[in-house]
Chains A and B, each alone.
Chain A
Amino acid sequence: MAIQDLFGKSLKAVNVGLEAFAASLETQAVDVIRVDWRPPLENYKPLACAPGGEDIDAVNAAAVTRIRSGRPLLVGMGVARDVIPGLGERMLLHAGPPITWERMCGPQRGAVMGAAVYEGWAKSYEEAAAMAAAGEFTFAPCHHHHTVGPMAGIVSPSMPVFIVRNETHGNLAYSTQNEGLGRVLRYGAYSDEVLARLKWMETTLYPALTAALKATGPIDLRSLIAQALHMGDEGHNRNRAATSLLIRQLAPALLQPRITKAAAEEVLRFIDGNDHFFLNLSMAAMKAMLEPAEGLAGCTLVTTMARNGTDFGIRVAGLPGRWFTAPAPIVQGLWLPGFSEKDANPDIGDSAITETGGIGGFAMAAAPAIVRFVGGTAALALEVTQEMYQITAGEHEFFTVPALDFRGTPLGIDVRKVMQTGILPFINTGIAHKEPGVGMVGAGLVRAPRECFEEAFRQMANGE
């Protein structure tokens, strides 16, 4: 190419900066597109090669292929202590990056107390708190055990869990059964009513679903999520369609001799009464899809975004084993009756695995109903998804958005692009009460904090 090749051609201009220049080109009938530019994050610099010499774009493209080729199947269920690798006795898994009892937020403490009584380790909630403070329980992030937990994300050894296998890459992921909304353990509520529900889930729901899954065979979660995206779900804050689709698959299998009619009815009513029943499956599916990208040398894609209600943490494929954390942000949202922002705990839960995997907030365009959580419009829903394309390395093949002419959802958050554009990942989420024992107070939208990306980028660029 030579400069003079431009001579005589129609100018087609990209304007970055002063609006007057773009306007003046338009008065001269020149095609011009305006970049809605904003400064990059602190200490950004272009990064094409990883310190190890890898071509980052190529590595990221390979990572996107690995992730989107994954096929998560719900293959069965088990009890956490039997199936989750490394889950010992007196051990509790929790949402988000590693944390101690001392720094744990109210709802996560509440869930710990509830779980300790549920397990029979403590006789009262007070005793449970004292034992936790005395260091009698071991805490570990769900993410360190191929597990994801919504909100407080507490998984205790006796809890039944779903087992999801990524058929393409062979890896497994786990999640508990969703309890419903309101006063539930994952929102930090602990009470006899909460524990009774957990017990029912262990003794009725779990055996029934196990038997049903034996009858159905593996359920293709990727296909289910793909359908749900065409039915108004985004897989994080709206799971109504996916839950309904799941019931369609399970219902005939629940009608079998090994399950009493009463149990089948209870199970169907329970799932029907909980629009978020599918959330835990959506999360486990995303976890199963993302894990195969972990550890790819030179890869700058985010494989985890998770919050424990105190810290927000991310992990990056090319920097395995490290968490990059910042204080968990406050969620902007709509409040349940009787609650307001002053009741809210900062952002909490592993459910941002959905955004990390390219659904949830990233698939907002598929679920315009969700934007109304912040008083937005259907147009905003489209805009959010389109904005996320600007920080991702690729697009999904099977998860598509009808309103965007069935374009694949944005997949693979590239730390470099977040740094360059200052666009932070967008997350749909529920809001827990900041005190233990209360439960859900609202739902809303939040952006991942920039400090996580700045520190990850710094370490990536310096080869630390």
Chain B
Amino acid sequence: MITQTAIHTGAYYDSIALLQTAQGLLKLEGVEDAAVVMGTPANKGILRNAALLTPEAAAASGDDLIIAVRADSAETAAAALRQANVLLAASRAPGAVAAQSSAPKTLAAATAQLDGANIALVSVAGRYAAGVAREALQQGLHVFLFSDNVSLEDEIALKTLGREKGLLVMGPDAGTAILNGVALGFANAVTPGPVGVVAASGTGLQAVTCQLTRLGVGITQGIGTGGRDLSVEVGGLMMLEGLKALQADPATQTILLVSKPPAPEVADKVLACLRDSPKPVVVCFLGGKSKAIREAGAIPATTLEEAAHLAAAVVRGQDFEAAREVLKERNQQLKMQAKAFRTRLKKRQRFFRGLFSGGTFCYETQLILNKMLNTPVVSNAPVEKTCQMLNANRSEGHTAVDLGEDEFTVGRLHPMLDPTLRNKRILQEIKDPQTAVLFLDIVLGYGVHPDPAGAAVEAIEESRTWLQGRDREVIFIASVCGTEGDPQKVRRQELQLTNAGVIVAPTNAAASRLAGYILG
């Protein structure tokens, strides 16, 4: 071992720079101990205790800088002394100093930093989400609450607080909203127009707003309420508040409500608000009865597609019965088309296999097919409890799988973001010799996968190669929910699918009917 020192007379560095330099020297290979200190008596004492006090160091004055190194060789020690100069010089180099304000850790701090903040998007883990949402409401912010696993009690408390404060509480488990033309969560670039929408379903809201845009009729607002809003417990709190806001909004001329059928007493409350509505209201309670809606003076729609067409007709001052006729005629054409497709199938190929990323599309397809097919469709998110799949990973008979359900998303991204799981499942389904129709929903918009059609086409082409070897064909049917303004562009996405031999229908309802005609 060898101890060497260097003395810099009159060199002043702050003590921390000195400590850091010493720390840097200690990291060098072969250096056993090092000290970089001013030559004060106290520091010399420290050097003595560390066995680093050479005669030169002992002779240094309080204004001298001492660099002392004990190393395994003279070369190592000399190199370390040189390195000390480099490190000391570096300690004086200007750093990246910026007076940027730090990221706020609380909503209150964020609200203070962003002048005029008016909405909070909350997507933290469920057990914390209610607390964050409550704080947002207390800060006077509207809330878009994407998080799920929020308790029913919390949902009721939040929505009650929201109602008192005149603030929206969209969610929990709200996937989509469009406010003042801005897409929140999974939502599309839609055109402005006179239709205001309140929906208890994220994909339902996407479907009707995209369809309205494609029909040339835009929207004012798209308010999402979360799927539980129309339950007995929550009592439709936000749908009622949203409805009242749209009724009071001068820009909204026609209102469209979308939901699965509410609990009967909740339906009564909602319909009671429609009786004296100053504006026409189209109501799509998917799978619900039309009679009560009609009696309340509103216009019932049975599918998301029909809801958009009816709202568009109302806006244009057209007879909405005529709009229903247009769709009926379109369905007749689908029936004709179906005949040709049916001939491509082998005898054993009898079953529908739908792989959905949008829960409401899965639901709507079941409603449509159950009226057209001899045996009901089973699903992991069934319309009727009796049609529950035994195992969501294994399709049997006519099957509609909602890949956005919890069993598939725990620890994984939603299928609208990550197509991996669905692509695997496509290959699994086409290998079943009984599969006749492979059915997909392709959802575009902000917040979702940048090229969902392209991702699906990869699996579809792989399927075709596999099927060709077995002299079999599967009919691929898809619909794309999106607009030309979306980052993915609806026409480009449809074209990719068509080029891959997929039959592309304009809506999920149309695609479902086509599948029904082929298999019916």
Contact = CB atoms under 8 A, between A and B. Distances in A.
Interface stretch (B41-49, B290-298, B349-357, B422-430): B41-49
Interface string B21-59: 011000000000111010010100111011010000000
B183 A24 contact: yes
A382 B99 contact: yes
Given A6-B179, A420-B106, A369 B118 contact: no
B142 interface: yes
A337 B128 contact: no
State the main secondary structure of chain A at its contact with B.
mixed
Contacts of B95: 377-379
Nearest to B181: A28
A8 B102 CA distance: 31
B238 to A, nearest CB: 9
Contact of B131 (A22, A40, A377, A387): A40
A352 to B, nearest CB: 20
B182 interface: yes
Nearest to B52: A337
Given A13-B121, A16-B107, A387 B167 contact: no
State the main secondary structure of chain B at its contact with A.
mixed
A383 B165 CA distance: 34
Nearest to A8: B180
Given A2-B248, A14-B111, A180-B42, A375 B20 contact: yes
Interface in B127-152: 128, 131-132, 134-136, 140-142, 146-147
A262 interface: no
Interface string B320-354: 00000000000000000000000000000000000
A101 interface: no
Interface string A38-56: 1110001110000000000
A420 to B, nearest CB: 7
B105 to A, nearest CB: 5
Contacts of B104: 33, 35-36, 390
A11 B183 CA distance: 11
With most chain B CB atoms within 10 A of its CB, the pick from A20, A24, A182 is A24
Interface string A97-112: 0000000000000000
B102 A383 contact: yes
Interface stretch (B11-19, B278-286, B359-367): B11-19
Contacts of A334: 16, 19-20, 23
A423 interface: yes
Contacts of A25: 121, 182, 184
B105 A421 contact: yes
Interface residues of A, number: 71
A181 interface: yes
Nearest to B109: A390
B122 interface: yes
Contact of A18 (B119, B120, B146): B146
B76 to A, nearest CB: 17
A15 B120 CA distance: 6
A368 B20 CA distance: 15
A183 B49 CA distance: 11
B118 A24 contact: no
Contact of B107 (A18, A24, A35): A35
B187 to A, nearest CB: 9
Interface string A171-199: 00000000011110000000000000000
A27 B446 contact: yes
Contact of A39 (B128, B146, B487): B128
B124 A16 contact: yes
Given A1-B140, A34-B103, A383-B102, A39 B125 contact: yes
Contact of A373 (B16, B147, B166): B16
A170 interface: no
B402 interface: no
Interface string A138-163: 00000000000000000000000000
Given A9-B180, A379-B100, A21 B121 contact: yes
B180 A11 contact: yes
A387 B105 contact: yes
B180 A10 contact: yes
Contacts of A1: 140, 165-167
A252 to B, nearest CB: 25
B479 interface: no
A90 interface: no
Contact of B105 (A10, A12, A35, A335): A35
B96 A379 contact: yes
With most chain B CB atoms within 10 A of its CB, the pick from A6, A379, A420 is A6
Given A12-B117, A21-B185, A334-B23, A423 B105 contact: yes
A8 B196 CA distance: 13
28 contacts: A1-B166, A3-B242, A6-B118, A6-B179, A7-B180, A7-B220, A7-B221, A7-B245, A7-B249, A11-B182, A13-B119, A14-B136, A15-B120, A16-B110, A20-B417, A21-B447, A27-B487, A33-B114, A40-B131, A180-B42, A183-B45, A337-B37, A337-B46, A338-B33, A338-B46, A368-B97, A373-B19, A387-B105
The 9 closest A-B pairs by CB, nearest first: A17-B123, A337-B35, A338-B50, A3-B245, A1-B166, A36-B103, A386-B102, A24-B446, A33-B114
Given A7-B245, A14-B120, A337-B46, 14 more contacts: A6-B118, A11-B118, A14-B114, A14-B141, A16-B122, A16-B124, A18-B146, A25-B184, A33-B113, A35-B104, A273-B40, A337-B37, A378-B97, A379-B100
